[in-house]
Amino acid sequence: MQELKLRTIILAALGSAVISMSSIYVALRIGALPWPTIFVAILSMAILKALKNTNLKEINVAHTGMSAGAMVAGGIAFTIPGIWMINEQTKISFTYVFLVSLIGSVIGVFMVALIREFFIEKSNLPFPVGVATAQTLIAGDEGGKKSKIVFSSLGASAIFTFLRDGFSKIPQAIIFRGLENYGIGLFMSPMAFGIGYIIGIIYMGVWFIGSIIGNILIPIFLSSALQGINAAITFKNNLGIGLIIGGGIALLIKDITPKILSIFKNAFSKLNISYKIISVVLLSILGIELIFLKLGIIASLLTLVGAALSVVMAAYTDGATGIVPMEIFGIIILLFVKLVIGGNSLSYLPLFAIVAIVAVASGVAGDNLQDFKAGSIIGTNPKAQIISELVGAIVGAVFGTIAMFILHFAYGKVGPGTFLVAPQAYAVSQMVQGLSNPRSFMFGLITGFALYFFNIPTMILGIGVYLPFIISLTAFLGSVLRVVIDKFFPKQSENFTLISSGLLGGEGFAGTIVAIIKFIWRL
């Protein structure tokens, strides 16, 4: 593995430390986590080229480790702060949070090693961010016309993002008057537009239909019956979660289970890891869950298995849309555990641990597969990427946990109405206390499960129902532009794909830089 050097691992670790800390700030502050993949790819390219004697494969290995840190941070930030929202006085130790994120990281990396070949090489999922990352690296390496297109688009997107997030000269969104309550508007995001273009009209069309159902039809027709817009929003959020879960269960039964034995059998043989090592790792995870996290034997086993299954669902949603609703997958497993062992069998702390483990595993595996897609295009040895991913994830667990405690200490309260709004963690806190609309959830779950067998991607539909309309509209417009370009200007199709890749990279780059600056400034 010539692409795996000591300097590569050191760079991946250092980058992961910085990116994980900034990602914690972004996730808590604005409830979002900009795709770091293209940003860290460009950063890795710049540093390694300055060090000389590098190539695209080494760059790919380095940015894989950096990305892992951001995903661990997202899993922590989207879940754990909900503990303080329920009770600000709850005591939770650094060690507890670190062990939670460490377990999620190990499960995520291990599952990537098992499912990478199936999802990256055998499935037809687009993995839009991974493709964009590979194109950006190739363009930067080759120079010439393609390079100018990518980096011109990247620069324009970065400037736009700096003006929007750094200087507040451009609004985050344009909301149509009179419809604010329904969240109808346009998210001013080059990244969302670019990712919609790359995904294409089929997946984005399903996504957008879900958004219309969740953010327009339900508020308009059900707000009166449900006694207000807030109740209607709660209804649609539970419906969206149910659709995602139902579609995920159907995906596992219909498409994954029939192939799972052959997939894992080949994967284990190619990994060249003895079953003794695998057994030691699994027993260590269960031991930590039992002794340190206080989950109990049944909850520990269910969390381990649930995290592994969630990774598969995360790989699908990320491959199709570039989005992993990691906290949703955590909620899915939490609800199942509560159903099996009883809702009052565990205190709040272990319940949040379950959600966080699953979220971290889903994020590390799902989003990091974009890096592996780029590696597949470039020709990188996946074993080198897996080693870098593991290092980056562990470093991210350390520094992401440090950043979260620093920010909580600096700002105090977390949640709606505070500086660190943490909307995902707030949603988790609500679900830990119980489903806010069980009927809507069950209706979504049954519907999502049934429709999937008619080849309707209900997980994507559920994401559209759950996410704000402004994000969906911007992404949908990007997919519409692709239809126009492919039909009337087919010779320009490749150039527009490169432009879209630049849009993703520019906002990811600038958004991360702004986050780092704000994080340091707040300290």
Residue ranges per structural domain of the chain: 6-522
| Residues 313-355: tens digit of each pLDDT | 888 877 877 777 788 788 888 888 888 887 666 778 888 888 9
pLDDT grade, residue 476 (50/70/90)?
very high
Q: Which two tokens stand for residue 113?
A: 């090693």
Q: How large a percentage of the chain has pLDDT more than 90?
A: 12
Query: Phi and psi dihedrals of 406, rounded to 5?
Result: -60, -50
pLDDT at residue 143, as a whole number: 65
Which residue's structure tokens are 């990320």?
Answer: 318
Q: Are 448 and 459 in contact (CB under 8 A)?
A: yes
Pick the range with the lowest mean pLDDT from 161-170, 441-450, 503-512: 503-512
pLDDT grade, residue 182 (50/70/90)?
low
DSSP for residue 175: E
Closest CA to 110 of 313, 294, 413, 368: 368
Task: Find the helix or strand (DSSP H, E) in which 185 lies.
Answer: strand 185-187
pLDDT at residue 512, as a whole number: 62
pLDDT at residue 252, as a whole number: 74
Task: Find the helix or strand (DSSP H, E) in which 187 lies.
Answer: strand 185-187
Alpha-carbon gap, residue 78 to 24, rounded angstroms:
9
pLDDT grade, residue 43 (50/70/90)?
confident
pLDDT at residue 393, as a whole number: 92
Model pTM? 0.76
pLDDT at residue 265, as a whole number: 60
pLDDT at 236 over 70: yes
Pick the range with the lowest mean pLDDT from 40-49, 173-182, 327-336, 434-443: 173-182
pLDDT at 180 over 60: no
CA separation (Å) from 61 to 34, 277, 510?
Answer: 20, 24, 22
| Residues 247-289: tens digit of each pLDDT | 878 877 877 677 666 656 655 555 556 566 767 777 888 888 7
- The whole-number average pLDDT for the span 453-481 is 85
